[in-house]
Amino acid sequence: MPQEIYLDNSATTRVSKAAAEKALYMMTECYGNPSSLHSKGFAAEREMTAAREILAQRLSAQPNEVYFTSGGTESDNIAILGAAHAKKRAGNRIVTTAIEHPAVLATMAALEKEGFEVVYVEPDADGNIPAAKFEPVIDAKTILVSVMTVNNETGAVLPLKEIAGIIKRKKAPALFHTDAVQAFCKLPLSMKKLGVDLISVSGHKVHAPKGVGALAVRSGVRILPHAFGGGQEKNLRPGTEGVPQICAFGAAVREMPAESDAERTVRAVQTHLIERLRAMPEVTLNSPENAMPYIVNLSAGRVRAETMLHFLAQRGIYVSSGSACGKAKPSHVLTAMGLPRERIESSLRVSLSAENTTEEIDAFADALALGLQTLSHT
Q: What is the pLDDT of residues 163-211, one digit of tens each?
A: 999 999 999 999 999 999 999 999 999 999 999 999 999 999 999 999 9
User: Which run of H or E residues covers position 364?
Assistant: helix 358-375
d(CA 340, CA 323): 19
* pLDDT for position 328: 58
- List beta partners, residue 176: 145
User: pLDDT at residue 27 above 80?
Assistant: yes
- List beta partners, residue 119: 95
Instruction: Name the active-site residue from 30, 185, 247, 325.
Output: 325
Q: What are phi and psi of 191, to 5 degrees?
A: -60, -40
Q: Are 349 and 270 in contact (CB under 8 A)?
A: no
d(CA 325, CA 353): 19
Closest C-alpha to 301, from 277, 334, 319, 272: 277
User: pLDDT at residue 228 above 70?
Assistant: yes
* DSSP three-state, residue 254: helix
Beta strands 5-6 and 317-318: pairing type?
parallel
User: pLDDT at residue 98 above 80?
Assistant: yes
User: pLDDT at residue 377 above 70?
Assistant: no
pLDDT, tens digit, for every residue of 100-150? Answer: 999 999 999 999 999 999 999 999 999 999 999 999 999 999 999 999 999
State yes or no: is 325 an active-site residue.
yes
Give every CB contact of residue 7 below 8 A, 6+ residues apart in sequence: 317, 318, 319, 350, 351, 352, 356, 360, 364
* pLDDT for position 330: 85
The HSE-up count of residue 340 (CA atoms within 13 Å, CB side) is: 7
d(CA 286, CA 269): 18
Query: DSSP H helical segments within 170-211, as ranges?
Result: 191-194
Q: What are phi and psi of 309, to 5 degrees?
A: -60, -45
Count of C-beta atoms within a 10 Å radius of residue 266: 20
* pLDDT for position 2: 61
Q: Are 356 and 7 in contact (CB under 8 A)?
A: yes
pLDDT, tens digit, for every residue of 285-324? Answer: 999 999 999 999 999 988 999 999 999 999 999 999 865 5
* DSSP three-state, residue 183: coil
Mean pLDDT of the chain: 95
* pLDDT for position 133: 98
* pLDDT for position 376: 75
d(CA 256, CA 280): 34
d(CA 125, CA 265): 29
Q: Are 177 and 144 in contact (CB under 8 A)?
A: yes
* pLDDT for position 63: 97
pLDDT, tens digit, for every residue of 36-75? Answer: 999 999 999 999 999 999 999 999 999 999 999 999 999 9
User: pLDDT at residue 1 above 80?
Assistant: no
